Amino acid sequence: MDSKTKRPAGIGLAEVMLLLVAAVWGGSYAVAKQATQQLPVLEFIALRFGLTFLVLLPALKPLFGVGWQRGLAVGGLLGANLLAIFVCETFGVSLTTASNAAFLISLCVALTPFVEWWLLGQRPAPRMFRAAGLSALGAAMLSATSPAELSVGWGDGLMVIAAFLRAVMVCMTRRLAGHHAMPALTLTAVQSGVMALGAGALALVAAPAGGAWHVPPATASFWWGMAYLVLLCTVFAFFAQNHAASRSSPSRVSLLMGSEPVFGALIAACGFGERIGPWGWAGGLLIVCAAWWVTMPARETPGRVVAGDAA
């Protein structure tokens, strides 16, 4: 790899932003679960991303410059992929246990190096595979007190599909980064619009004959939760992910995002009084170690890179 194009392996702004996203998303599960108990899943997704699109309307200005067709096509493709992820995740969580969901969605970390190799034709460095395996093992330990607690069902299948689509999303964002000149926030706005329209269309198709849309509840808790999901979990998180994905390898992005279950466990334990045993905390430590390991500077020998970013 030419030294002019080589990306640094240390911790920079992109990595810090990804860790903040992981922390924000770690606290989103309880909020989203409470909201979907008050509004059907597809209508909830349409409302969440419709509001996000409205918030980001000013960010669409760059879209109307030269090359807007290509930018819109990229945003539409990534938005459709993101919609599929959210539909699978949201329905999957409702059909499986929380521990299974946490483990299975974290498989994205283990799947990304292989998807990166498949889609980008770039074989990640050996330590990426080792760190991915370590992160997957940690996620399993974090989400279950024993292997016997893991089971397979429809919800589990949906979570596996969501994990695979997350890996594809990271790699596609990286691959398409050079095919448009849109700022990360503009790309987020386009994705949000596509997701709102897509979820709304799916809700209409799935609604029974003569069925009407539900009116969102007027409770303060619902709208405070929606504000958290829109402003932090969507606007900030997707902007940060789009920003980082175009500046770091897909495997590094997914491994850092793989710390999300740890933050979720901390918030659950400190904020909601959930008890996590030593086995779970040990698994969380493995995930943190994997994320730390992949951000360490690469060691080189003359003529080739032996560790770190090979993408």
Q: Which residues pair with 301 in a beta bridge?
A: 304
**Is the CA virtual torsion 250, 253, 255, 257 positive or negative?**
negative
pTM over 0.85: no
User: Which residue ranges in the chain fall short of pLDDT 50?
Assistant: 1-8, 301-311
Q: What does each C-alpha distance from 17 to 55, 198, 242, 267, 299 come to in angstroms?
A: 21, 28, 11, 19, 25
The token pair at 212 is 């009407």
Q: Are 168 and 81 contacting, i.e. CB atoms less than 8 angstroms apart?
A: yes
pLDDT tens figures, 46-100? 999 999 999 989 888 877 765 667 778 888 888 999 999 999 988 887 777 666 6
